[in-house]
Amino acid sequence: MAASRRIAVVFWLVAGGCGGGGGEGGTGGAAAAGGGAGDVAGAGGGIAGGAGGGGGGGMNAGGRGGAAGTNAAGGRGGAAGRGAAGSSGAAGRGSAGGGAGTAIASAATIFYLDVAGRVMTADAENPSPRVVVASAGQGPDGIAIDVAAGHVFWTGMGSPSADDGFVMRANLDGSNVTTLVAAGGTYTPKQMRVDVAGGKLYWSDREGMKIQRANVDGSNVETLVTVATGATARMDASNWCVGMALDTAGGWFYWTQKGGDNAGVGSIRRAHIVMPAGQTSTNRTDIEVLFAGLPEPIDIELDVEAGLIYWADRGDDTINRAPIAIPTGQTSANRTDRQILVRSVGEAIGVAIDKPRGRLYYTSAEGQLGRANLDGTGKQELTGAGALTGIVVVNLR
């Protein structure tokens, strides 16, 4: 069977920086006890979701099993027991519920945004930055990818005093740059996500003090949460919405409200994607506060499968994670399960996880683009230039 190739890509937002990213999946082999839906990558290799599971050791040197189990060293069990490609050079072998699969390899690529107004990309193993979009507008901040459609989306804060935020899109090769939400259609949009199946874009609006969404073509902008309104409320940074994450299967969206500079009043919250009947963005009663009293949380990332939330904290210059659920007997204000993974990330902004390879990536307003293992070990700075903002990790075919 002919081999197919899946490429892992890291997208982030930067001001004039470039650098490396994730590693390249190595060889695989046969995956034992396969099953599920997805692919198996080798040696730190890629993933394509799955309910099955590679089991046992097998020859696969990296990849994670699906729900049925985990193989020896990482990646995900694949559809019909797909095995990773590698030294055997052919389709992998899936036993115990898996059929013959398609061999894959993986390589990481980095995409990022320059706060000065460019979309950039670079190979993670040999960072040689190149410009994808040279004119991305003022203050690009949040980024999201629709792999199937071949689109990169980003938010632009514009000038906060001017209320002229916007949302744009381009093809992944930088062509066909399009404004989806015109200047002033949102106030200062920050981190964003795309729900491909639902055909929606979601983002946090900082000075707008809102959570908003629109169709992927930019039409039908609607507000899901209104934290506060008016110039007086806008002076209180605890009302500023910044981070954004989606759990579409669970029916939740998550966001941060950052608070002032290291003020200790930041929070992480969530609400249902479906608005409660008869309620509006101003009076909905389903908002849950998961963390309160954080230094200054910015961007967030979910590992729904593991029940974890990751976030960058600009106040104490850290990358963090914790269980989504509040521990029994504790509250959002006194929970003690926050785990600091990476320290000394000056003005930390972006965070993204590459679970198949066991890595997290982070960015900072002081120009750091770095990576570490998911437990925070193995910290490595990949670049140190510009002012970096949002970051995502995707797989490109």
Q: How confident is the model over 277-329, as pLDDT tens digits?
A: 999 999 999 999 999 999 999 999 999 999 999 999 999 999 999 999 999 99
Give the number of other Cβ atoms within 10 Å of residue 96's Cβ: 16
At residue 18, the pLDDT reads: 36
Whether pTM exceeds 0.85: no
| Residue 238 binned pLDDT confidence (cut-offs 50, 70, 90) | very high
What percent of the chain lies above the pLDDT cut of 90? 56
What percent of the chain lies above the pLDDT cut of 70? 70
At residue 27, the pLDDT reads: 35
Q: What is the pLDDT of residues 6-37, one digit of tens each?
A: 444 555 544 433 333 333 333 333 333 333 33
* Average pLDDT score over residue span 112-129: 73
Q: Which residue has the higher pLDDT, 255 or 366?
A: 255
What span, in angstroms and rounded, lies between the C-alpha atoms of 243 and 216?
A: 19
Q: What is the pLDDT of residues 339-395, one digit of tens each?
A: 999 999 999 999 989 888 898 989 899 988 888 999 999 999 887 667 889 888 877
**Is residue 190 pLDDT above 60, yes or no?**
yes
Contact in structure between 383 and 333 (CB atoms under 8 Å): no
At residue 130, the pLDDT reads: 75
* Average pLDDT score over residue span 248-271: 98
Q: Report residue 157 CA to chain centroid gap.
A: 19
Among the listed residues 363, 352, 357, 382, the one whose alpha carbon sits nearest the alpha carbon of residue 21: 382
Decide the pairing of beta strands 7-12 and 108-114: parallel
What span, in angstroms and rounded, lies between the C-alpha atoms of 12 and 343?
A: 19
What span, in angstroms and rounded, lies between the C-alpha atoms of 325 and 330?
A: 10
* Average pLDDT score over residue span 63-74: 36
Query: What type of residue sits at position 233?
Result: A
Contact in structure between 353 and 301 (CB atoms under 8 Å): yes
Please enumerate in sequence order all residues whose Cβ is within 8 A of that of 379, keeping only pairs 6 or more positions apart, or say none. Answer: 342, 370, 371, 372
At residue 83, the pLDDT reads: 37
- Give the sign of the dihedral formed by CA 5, CA 352, CA 306, CA 342: positive
